[in-house]
A and B are shown apart, each in its own frame.
Chain A
């Protein structure tokens, strides 16, 4: 079986999933046959979360066995972070940069100018995300970047997520002309951005 995360819940889990362990914290696991890809694992984590199970999630891109998940549960002090994340999920703010095909640059000055422009655009996007996230008045994860996207997560109580999402969406709509790229807010997700496996001692697994 494959580990999906850890929980202090003892409630019934969705069909096909199992809780391993008999202590206050248990590992939520799924059969290997149906959790081979990151997409499979993400789907089951979201389904569990939507079913009301508070989860300290393992990143879907990181496949660890149920034995490893149980081992980590026994060696790492997960209780504080599970308590901290209980009844919470995350909203994710993103600025997606459109992928535009451009002519290759062959001279050094133009290349440097293009890089300066890219840095300026990214700094502008980061400033906007920081500003919007600050409006939420909730814990915010550090910014993450991929080639065409910058994101951050906001930790929020499940019960107030819809209201906050609407408020932030309103601010995002009003800010859409201030930066290059498409701004969006998604969620509610399991609190992936606040589950620091390395801090919990992932290497012990």
Chain B
């Protein structure tokens, strides 16, 4: 008989997110092709959106943007994020699910 084992919730969360998890790799399951493709496509879209967000922040830090440009860029990125998350939700995907594992390159998000 295996004895019960108690672990604090925070410690459990720490450990369940180990990099040894191979489950995050891009995989297409014949039984759930739509979801897996949605995850792949939306993951790439979110990755590109985050790159644009970083670029916008960099430009803002360097003072390259007018107030009007900051407003326009910020609004666009904010709405793009909401749209991607809304689409993901339709496939039962959370924002965390959009993180894609690119192997040696690491994760996209």
Contact = CB atoms under 8 A, between A and B. Distances in A.
Contacts of A177: none
Given A42-B15, A42-B16, A115-B57, A202 B22 contact: yes
A80 to B, nearest CB: 16
A103 interface: no
B54 to A, nearest CB: 7
B11 A119 contact: no
Contacts, number: 133
Interface string B75-109: 11110000000000000000110000001001000
Interface residues of A, number: 52
A108 B20 contact: no
Q: Tell me which of B14, B16, B73 has the highest count of chain A C-beta atoms within 10 A of its own C-beta.
A: B14
Interface residues of B, number: 41
A151 B74 contact: no
A115 B53 contact: yes
Contact of A111 (B12, B75, B96): B75
A94 B11 CA distance: 10
A146 B17 CA distance: 8
B61 interface: yes
Interface in A57-115: 57-62, 92, 94, 96, 105, 107-113, 115
B23 A61 contact: yes
A75 to B, nearest CB: 14
A111 B14 contact: no
Nearest to A45: B15
Given A108-B76, A109-B74, A198-B103, A96 B16 contact: no
Given A96-B10, A146-B96, A196 B20 contact: yes
